[in-house]
């Protein structure tokens, strides 16, 4: 099998970007959308073809999956090392490699991107800058695909930045909306900040391994006997070895893109972008780039416990932290954003608890598995939410409710995705989550407990979201506090235009296809295809652990059902109409009180509210404060610049003295 056609997966979106970007204005409006969708469809077909050939026909030699270099071109070679060290120096290559994770990512990215293109075709149809939107989508897809097949860490960095730039363009697509512009700027600067960590990490790694090629770096630095690794671990700075620094810094880069605490602050704001963009970038593709990066360099992380633990704890903390905050949000997209952060935390800590090779590497497999299934159901959730928002013209939960009759298909698909993310069998989320929790259980009980707790919270807030959109119609209790901003418009839709409730055909097709993925993806035996060292193994199914995980999910769903399925005055109706069941109703009421106390008083007030407060006032504020201090100092030092030459001469003279003293006495 010749994989040279892989290059078309990169060329097509790039060509589409150039054509729609440059000529979009002069071609019929719909054509740019058709062109973009078509080229992404071809890419998806190619990706499936490649995946089939790779996984089933030629990828495996013996029992190990090979890394296939499709194409490699030396693009820039540094001359040999200046210090006269051995080695032929660094070179930056442009290349395409296929290995299990990059093939899987190709499938995920092209598939979700294709669905998003399809969906956007009708979602954005009223947008005057339709062709620009599609050209940006193509640019993003191109960058993301280039990132996953990169053979060289520097190539990956370039595409990494391109992904950042195109995400910046897409988040700020509604450029006349100040909040969108602010959000895109925030996303760009926060991730840029993290990327600098990545950049320094690359510099360190390349310096110690004398290579920028992934395969060579891993080969040279993962062998405990190699001279390269010994030099890298011997050189230290501030109490940690250069190797530890490099991996931690690279992780910071990954954490920025993947919205890990405390670099997550850009993600909720990024929801200002159009909803299909959120589905593509902030659910399925860009935000998992950090996970992908850690997985790519996994053999190195596995060797350095400090860096490996950092991945684990940051991931676990982010998972829990985001889940708790998600319980308090009322903006439908923000809930999904925090949910994404939480699920990516899962993937991260799965990598963190994983070992290397065989069954030890279960966490690695599970993490990639969850990445795959999460892409399906989270894209479905976002696109479903988009359909609802399209219908209601508001992001706020209080403007929704009782939508199940107007949008029956969306309702079912959304429910499917909610069940999947809550880990209910036999949907995809159950299998991947169960595998992650098993890996955590085998490695670290604390992380396991965090995982279970997060799973329960996830089920709770997802069903709170689901019921609030599709069931609980009047929202009386909440309405008293937060009057809905758009009640009139909502009523028009729900009463007067009942027939026109459901989303348009191309949107529904995208939703249904993702729904199929959500339902079926779990049955793929992932450990037969993806493992930390390329060798396959059979992952065992642990019934007890699975039951605990399901129990956590079901508990969360039940609590949410009691609270949000119907308006909270249900008990009064019971009392009035069914005298015999009064006692039961009272009991229910009593339970409600307890739940109310536990969830609303304890979780909301004691944990979630402070966590949200910390997020808003401390984490965000620290960043703002840093900016303010800089501005303040800037004002202070401005007085140095008095405009008088004799003042300048005095500073000059002080400088001369200082330098002389340093030069002579150092």
Choose the binding region for another protein from 70-78, 350-358, 507-515, 598-606 (rule: CB under 8 A).
Answer: 70-78
Based on the shown chain and the rule CB under 8 A, indicate whether residue 26 belongs to the binding site for another protein. no
We find the least distance from the C-beta atom of residue 264 to another protein, in angstroms, to be: 18
* 115: nearest Cα among 275, 312, 231: 275
Write the DSSP symbol of residue 526: G
We find the least distance from the C-beta atom of residue 621 to another protein, in angstroms, to be: 17
Query: For residues 245 and 251, which CB has a smaller minimum distance to another protein in the complex?
Result: 245
CB 456 within 8 A of CB 556: yes
Query: For residues 149 and 199, which CB has a smaller minimum distance to another protein in the complex?
Result: 199
Close Cβ partners of 425 (under 8 Å, ≥ 6 residues apart): 431, 546, 550
Query: For residues 205 and 327, which CB has a smaller minimum distance to another protein in the complex?
Result: 205
Based on the shown chain and the rule CB under 8 A, indicate whether residue 86 belongs to the binding site for another protein. no
User: What gap in Å lies between CA 144 and CA 659, rounded to an integer?
Assistant: 49
We find the least distance from the C-beta atom of residue 270 to another protein, in angstroms, to be: 17
Answer for which of 56, 523, 541, 648 binds another protein (CB under 8 A) is 648
CB 413 within 8 A of CB 512: yes
Report the SS3 class of residue 72. Answer: strand
Choose the binding region for another protein from 73-81, 303-311, 341-349, 583-591 (rule: CB under 8 A).
Answer: 73-81
φ and ψ of 436, to 5 deg: -60, -45
Please, what sign has the CA dihedral across residues 397, 401, 406, 409? positive
End-to-end CA distance of the chain: 65
Name residues contacting another protein, limited to 140-159 (CB under 8 A): 157-158
Name residues contacting another protein, limited to 187-226 (CB under 8 A): 188-189, 192-193, 196-197, 199-200, 203-204, 206-207
| Alpha-helical runs (H) found in 124-234 | 130-149, 153-171, 178-209, 214-222, 227-234
* 489: nearest Cα among 406, 402, 391: 391
* 558: nearest Cα among 637, 456, 482, 632: 456
User: What gap in Å lies between CA 595 and CA 597, rounded to an integer?
Assistant: 5
* 468: nearest Cα among 374, 539, 547, 566: 566
Which positions from 278 to 297 touch another protein by CB under 8 A, shown as an x/- string? Answer: --------------------
Q: What angle do CA 627, 259, 319 make, to 5 degrees?
A: 125
Angle between helices 29-52 and 6-23 (to 10 degrees): 170
Write the DSSP symbol of residue 79: P
Choose the binding region for another protein from 25-33, 120-128, 407-415, 653-661 (rule: CB under 8 A).
Answer: 653-661
Choose the binding region for another protein from 62-70, 173-181, 262-270, 608-616 (rule: CB under 8 A).
Answer: 173-181
Name residues contacting another protein, limited to 331-360 (CB under 8 A): none
Answer for which of 56, 523, 613, 652 binds another protein (CB under 8 A) is 652
Which positions from 485 to 504 touch another protein by CB under 8 A, shown as an x/- string? Answer: --------------------
We find the least distance from the C-beta atom of residue 615 to another protein, in angstroms, to be: 21
We find the least distance from the C-beta atom of residue 186 to another protein, in angstroms, to be: 11
We find the least distance from the C-beta atom of residue 127 to another protein, in angstroms, to be: 19
Query: How many other C-beta atoms are found inside a 10 Å radius of the C-beta of residue 161?
Result: 17
Based on the shown chain and the rule CB under 8 A, indicate whether residue 31 belongs to the binding site for another protein. no
Based on the shown chain and the rule CB under 8 A, indicate whether residue 179 belongs to the binding site for another protein. no
We find the least distance from the C-beta atom of residue 641 to another protein, in angstroms, to be: 6
Based on the shown chain and the rule CB under 8 A, indicate whether residue 162 belongs to the binding site for another protein. yes
Answer for which of 57, 61, 79, 481 binds another protein (CB under 8 A) is 79
Structure tokens at 641: 């610049």
User: What gap in Å lies between CA 496 and CA 392, rounded to an integer?
Assistant: 13
Choose the binding region for another protein from 77-85, 332-340, 431-439, 553-561 (rule: CB under 8 A).
Answer: 77-85
We find the least distance from the C-beta atom of residue 153 to another protein, in angstroms, to be: 13
Query: For residues 162 and 306, which CB has a smaller minimum distance to another protein in the complex?
Result: 162
CB 534 within 8 A of CB 100: yes
User: What gap in Å lies between CA 20 and CA 409, rounded to an integer?
Assistant: 33
Close Cβ partners of 19 (under 8 Å, ≥ 6 residues apart): 35
We find the least distance from the C-beta atom of residue 397 to another protein, in angstroms, to be: 30
Express the helix, strand and coil content of the chain in percent, nearest 5 each.
75, 5, 20
300 burial class (0-12, 13-18, 19+ CB within 10 angstroms)? buried
Structure tokens at 546: 């699975």
* 468: nearest Cα among 417, 416, 412, 399: 399
Angle between helices 332-353 and 289-296 (to 10 degrees): 10
Answer for which of 9, 68, 92, 137 binds another protein (CB under 8 A) is 92
Choose the binding region for another protein from 18-26, 272-280, 573-581, 643-651 (rule: CB under 8 A).
Answer: 643-651
Based on the shown chain and the rule CB under 8 A, indicate whether residue 407 belongs to the binding site for another protein. no
Based on the shown chain and the rule CB under 8 A, indicate whether residue 11 belongs to the binding site for another protein. no
Query: For residues 76 and 598, which CB has a smaller minimum distance to another protein in the complex?
Result: 76
Choose the binding region for another protein from 114-122, 374-382, 601-609, 626-634 (rule: CB under 8 A).
Answer: 626-634
CB 436 within 8 A of CB 350: yes
Based on the shown chain and the rule CB under 8 A, indicate whether residue 470 belongs to the binding site for another protein. no
Answer for which of 11, 45, 64, 175 binds another protein (CB under 8 A) is 175
Query: For residues 30 and 630, which CB has a smaller minimum distance to another protein in the complex?
Result: 630
Which positions from 234 to 263 touch another protein by CB under 8 A, shown as an x/- string? Answer: -x-x-------x------------------
Query: Any bridge partners for residue 68, and if so which?
Result: 98
Based on the shown chain and the rule CB under 8 A, indicate whether residue 630 belongs to the binding site for another protein. yes
**Length, in residues, of the chain:** 666
Total interface residues for another protein by CB under 8 A: 59
- Residues interacting with another protein, by CB under 8 A? 75-79, 81-83, 92, 157-158, 161-162, 165, 175, 178, 181, 185, 188-189, 192-193, 196-197, 199-200, 203-204, 206-207, 235, 237, 245, 627, 630-631, 633-635, 637-638, 640-641, 643, 645, 647-649, 651-652, 654-656, 659-660, 662-664, 666
């Amino acid at each position: 099998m010749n994989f040279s056609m892989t290059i078309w997966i990169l060329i097509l979106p790039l060509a589409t970007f150039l054509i729609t970007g440059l000529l979009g204005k002069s071609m019929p409006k719909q054509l740019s959308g058709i062109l973009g969708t078509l080229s992404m469809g071809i890419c998806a077909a190619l990706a499936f073809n490649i995946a089939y050939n790779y996984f089933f026909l030629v990828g495996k030699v013996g029992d190990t999956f090979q890394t296939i270099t499709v194409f490699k071109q030396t693009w820039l070679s540094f001359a040999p090392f200046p210090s006269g060290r051995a080695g032929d120096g660094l070179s930056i290559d442009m290349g395409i490699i296929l290995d299990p994770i990059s093939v899987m990512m190709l499938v995920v990215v092209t598939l979700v991107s294709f669905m998003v293109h399809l969906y956007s075709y009708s979602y954005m149809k009223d947008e005057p800058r339709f062709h620009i939107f599609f050209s940006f989508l193509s640019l993003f897809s191109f960058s993301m695909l280039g990132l996953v097949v990169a053979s060289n860490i520097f190539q990956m960095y370039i595409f990494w930045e391109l992904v950042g730039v195109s995400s910046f363009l897409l988040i700020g697509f509604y450029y006349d909306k100040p909040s969108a512009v602010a959000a895109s700027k925030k996303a760009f600067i926060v991730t840029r900040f993290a990327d600098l960590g990545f950049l320094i990490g690359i510099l360190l790694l390349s310096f110690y391994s004398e290579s920028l090629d992934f395969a060579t770096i891993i080969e040279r630095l993962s062998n405990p006997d190699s001279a390269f690794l010994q030099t890298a671990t011997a050189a230290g700075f501030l109490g940690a070895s250069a190797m530890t620094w490099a991996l931690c810094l690279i992780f910071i880069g990954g954490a920025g893109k993947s919205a890990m605490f405390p670099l997550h602050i850009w993600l909720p704001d990024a929801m200002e972008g159009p909803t299909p963009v959120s589905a593509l970038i902030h659910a399925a593709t860009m935000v998992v780039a950090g996970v992908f990066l850690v997985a790519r360099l996994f053999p190195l992380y596995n060797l350095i416990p400090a860096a490996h633990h950092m991945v684990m704890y940051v991931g676990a903390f982010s998972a829990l932290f985001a889940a708790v905050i998600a319980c308090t949000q009322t903006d439908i997209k923000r809930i999904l954003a925090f949910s994404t952060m939480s699920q990516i935390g899962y993937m991260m800590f799965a990598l963190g608890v994983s070992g290397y090779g065989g069954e030890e590497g279960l966490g690695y497999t599970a993490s990639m598995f969850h990445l795959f299934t999460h892409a399906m159901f989270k894209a479905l959730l976002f696109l479903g939410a988009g359909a609802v928002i399209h219908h209601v013209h508001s992001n706020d939960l209080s403007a929704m409710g009782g939508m199940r009759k107007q949008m029956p298909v969306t309702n079912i698909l959304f429910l499917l995705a909610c069940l999947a993310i809550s880990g209910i069998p036999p949907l995809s989320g159950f299998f991947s989550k169960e595998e992650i929790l098993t890996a955590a259980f085998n490695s670290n009980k604390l992380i396991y407990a965090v995982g279970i707790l997060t799973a329960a919270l996830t089920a709770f807030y997802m069903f709170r979201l689901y019921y609030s959109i599709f069931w609980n119609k009047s929202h009386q209790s909440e309405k008293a506090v937060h009057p809905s901003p758009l009640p009139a418009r909502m009523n028009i839709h729900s009463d007067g235009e009942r027939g026109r409730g459901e989303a348009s055909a191309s949107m529904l097709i995208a939703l249904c296809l993702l729904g199929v993925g959500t339902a079926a993806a779990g049955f793929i035996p992932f450990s037969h295809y993806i493992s930390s060292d390329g060798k396959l193994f059979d992952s065992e199914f642990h019934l007890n652990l699975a039951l605990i995980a399901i129990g956590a999910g079901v508990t969360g769903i039940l609590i949410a059902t009691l609270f949000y399925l119907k308006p909270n005055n249900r008990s009064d109706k019971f009392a009035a109409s069914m005298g015999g069941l009064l006692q039961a109703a009272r009991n229910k009421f009593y339970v409600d009180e307890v739940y109310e106390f536990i969830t609303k008083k304890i979780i909301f007030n004691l944990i979630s509210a402070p966590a949200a407060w910390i997020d808003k006032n401390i984490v965000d504020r620290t960043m703002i404060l840093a900016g303010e201090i800089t501005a303040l100092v800037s004002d202070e030092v401005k007085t140095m610049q008095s405009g008088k030459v004799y003042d300048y001469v005095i500073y000059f003279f002080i400088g001369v003295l200082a330098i002389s003293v340093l030069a002579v006495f150092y």
